[in-house]
Amino acid sequence: MAIGEINQRRLRYFHEILARGSIRAAADALNTASSVLTRQMKLLEDEIGTPLFERGNRGVAPTEAAHALLAYWRGCQSERAVFENTLQNLNGLQIGSVRLAISEGFVDPLMDHVLTPFINAHPQLNISAKTLAVNDVISEVANDEVDIGLAYNPQPAARVTQHAIAANPVCVLMSGAHTLASRNTPLTIAELAPFPLALMSSAFGLGQIVRTVADLERVRLTPALVSNSVAMLKRFVRSGNGVTFLTYAATLIDSADPAFCVAPLAHPLFGAAQSCVLVREGRRLPNAAQRVLDLIVEQMPLFGSEVHVSSALVRC
């Protein structure tokens, strides 16, 4: 059987059933009858010559053949997007889309150095960018839900390539009038624990590192505020005697603000943290997405230059 003989409509039905976990749920999503999908899956199994699902009381479970067919379908979708965007390139990138999933701390530098100038140059293109927890960024890249991911200190994952990596240590942000602002040596997490704390949510890479170091140092952290918003963490610090932990890159915009002091941390895990640009392994990006990927690596100050945070870089 030639691959070209597979019915594309049945492939779309197959993908919906796989994503939903049952024929009934897929039928509801597609606004069609379950019997239609059952018949179409039987015809698809006849086309490829092997079962795709094992039926059970709680829905359907994919066979090994289903996983192989899913990889083929994703490849078809990816190659189709590349073809469409190649044609768009002939028209000067007048239409198309780029999808990004990013950790919260990348919002400002991504907008300032990449997306704003790109949108100004290509106003007809559609850009979507969503802030997600680190594991969700990885998942969306792996499943082709987005073209590019920007994640803070992600763990290695199957089907995901770290296209670019940059050092991005964890720092302390405090008021310029804080009692610890005059210190000229790195601070420990134990020294910061007695002060009012604002922490990033533990679903995010930054929050995970802070809590890991606290566990290793046997320091109990009792945050006054937990948030997934960098802006909220900064507002907390500005409003009183509190402190928060942010990535070095997320504090660069505050370097000229006398209301803030940015100080380094003593634990080596804080200094070893990294920012990563993620793409799905083996994927050929559409032309517009490839251009944005190139701009991220070339134009974002964090990538392409090594970052060191030491006592010499304290900004108060």
pLDDT at 139: 95
d(CA 201, CA 217): 20
What local confidence, expressed as pLDDT, does residue 310 receive? 43
Q: Is 252 left (phi over 0), alpha (psi -120 to 50) or beta?
A: alpha
Amino acid at 146: V
Output the six-digit token pair for 53: 């699902």
Most confident of 27-36, 50-59, 166-175: 166-175
Longest CA span, the chain: 75
- Write down the H helix ranges in 172-286: 189-192, 205-216, 230-238, 248-251, 268-271
What the block records as the tokens of 27 is 């039928």
pLDDT score of 250: 86
To the question of domain 3-73 being in CATH 1.10.10.10, the answer is yes
Residue 238 has pLDDT above 80, yes or no: yes
User: What mean pLDDT comes out for the span 186-198?
Assistant: 95
Domain ranges, ordered by start, for the chain: 3-73, 99-316
Model pLDDT for residues 114-143, shown as the tens digit of each residue:
999 999 998 888 999 999 999 999 999 999
Contact predicate 30/41, CB 8 Å:
no
Q: What's the DSSP call for residue 208?
A: H
- Residue 316: is its pLDDT beyond 60? no
Residues 6+ away with beta carbon under 8 Å from 150: 100, 101, 102, 103, 106, 110, 137, 275, 276, 277, 278, 296
Q: Which residue has the tokens 């046997």?
A: 218
What percent of the chain is modeled with pLDDT above 90? 50
Specify burial of residue 194 (Cβ count, 10 A radius: 0-12, 13-18, 19+).
Answer: exposed
Helix runs in the chain, H state only: 8-20, 23-30, 34-48, 64-90, 107-110, 116-121, 134-142, 189-192, 205-216, 230-238, 248-251, 268-271, 287-299
* pLDDT above 80 for 299: yes
H/E run at residue 127: strand 126-131
What is the third-level CATH fold of 99-316? D-Maltodextrin-Binding Protein; domain 2 (3.40.190)
Is the pTM of the predicted complex or chain greater than 0.75?
Answer: no
What are the residues whose beta carbons fall under 8 Å from the beta carbon of 301, sequence distance 6 or more?
Answer: 109, 113, 249, 252
**22 secondary structure, DSSP code:** S
State the average pLDDT for the chain: 87
Share of the chain residues as helix, strand and coil, in percent rounded to the nearest 5: 45, 20, 35
- pLDDT for position 309: 42
3-state per-residue secondary structure call for 261-277: EEEEECCHHHHCCEEEE
